[in-house]
Amino acid sequence: MSGAHADSALDVGRCAELACVLEAAAAKPGNVHPGARFDDVTFDDFVASAAAIAPAMREARRIGVGATVLRAILATRSAVGTNTNLGTVLLLAPLAAAPPELPLAEGVADVLARLTPDDARDVYRAIRLAQAAGLGNIGEMDVAGTPPPDLIAAMRLASERDLVARQYAENYFHVFTWLVPWLEQACRSGWPLDRSIVGAHVRLMSRIPDSLIARKCGPEIARESSDRAARVLEAEEPGETAWDSAVSEFDAWLRADAHQRNPGTTADLIAAALFVALREGMIALPVRWSETAPLPNLVKGIVLRD
């Protein structure tokens, strides 16, 4: 895919907002969606968070990655008072800052290559404000310490234990090489968008254990989650009874331990892939779509392009 599709109605902020809503609206196993909540977070919180980050994403090219991440996290904390989207914001900011005339894979690589010490400072502050594990306890360049001058170096150190950090270290390899093509493949197969999202989510979990699960539950549980995702893929294609049953069983297992097995990092990468699909024109908007329409009302009218 090359630059943004000519008839795309989205600016960067609206694109980021819609990507987040689409990700949260799909009934992905183990995650919050309209039919499933956590004790402290609901689907409405994710919708509010999506709206909150849009202004910062809209300014990303002007203010830079670090400032975008920091503004988005501050806006999220003001809107919902909890960490709903740190990983997603970290992934969307470089994508939003990419030059619109370039393919996103090329543009985001250029953005990452130009990160400054100020970007590192603001990203570290945002991670601390979100009260999330972020880069993890890695000793050197840990988020609890002094921000390093080189954010990418810090992300490389964290990349083995954090899949979001790995995208920074590897120019979004898993987003561009795996997830976006999987969504395109689903389009060609005629899957509805929500099913396509769930399929990509399960497929990524089967390839790479979710790093949030690994941090919260340990590597063995993370590997088990990956094995269970692989077994889901052995069922029939989305829309078939066997698939629905397998997804439901996987979902129940992920939720059984008070949501400790929440595959949140996988969901972050799904949101990034949806942003790419929207900016590159792979997702078609409803004919009567408008910039002011409430996004939850639009989800059912959005389809993947042939």
Residue 275 in domain: yes
Q: What is the DSSP string of 55-72?
A: HHHHTHHHH-HHHHHHHH
Contacts of 89 (CB under 8 A, 6+ apart): 53, 68, 69, 72, 73, 76, 126
Residue 3 in domain: no
Distance CA 186, CA 180 (A): 10
Contact 269, 92 (CB under 8 A): no
Instruction: Supply 8's token pair.
Output: 């795309």
Residue 86 in domain: yes
Residue 301 in domain: no
What percent of the chain is modeled with pLDDT above 70? 85
Q: What is the pLDDT of residue 164?
A: 97
CATH code where residue 138 lies: 1.10.4200.10
Residue 302 in domain: no
Residue 112 in domain: yes
Place of tokens 């969504």: 183
Domain that holds residue 214: 12-285
Domains of the chain: total: 1
Residue 228 in domain: yes
Local confidence pLDDT in tens for the 306 residues of the chain: 434 443 445 789 999 999 999 999 999 999 999 999 998 899 999 999 999 999 999 999 999 999 999 999 999 999 998 899 999 999 999 999 999 989 999 999 999 999 999 999 999 999 999 876 434 444 455 566 788 899 999 999 999 999 999 999 999 999 999 999 999 888 778 888 899 999 999 999 999 999 999 999 999 999 999 999 999 999 877 777 899 999 999 999 999 988 899 999 999 999 999 999 999 988 866 544 445 555 555 555 555 555
Residue 84 in domain: yes
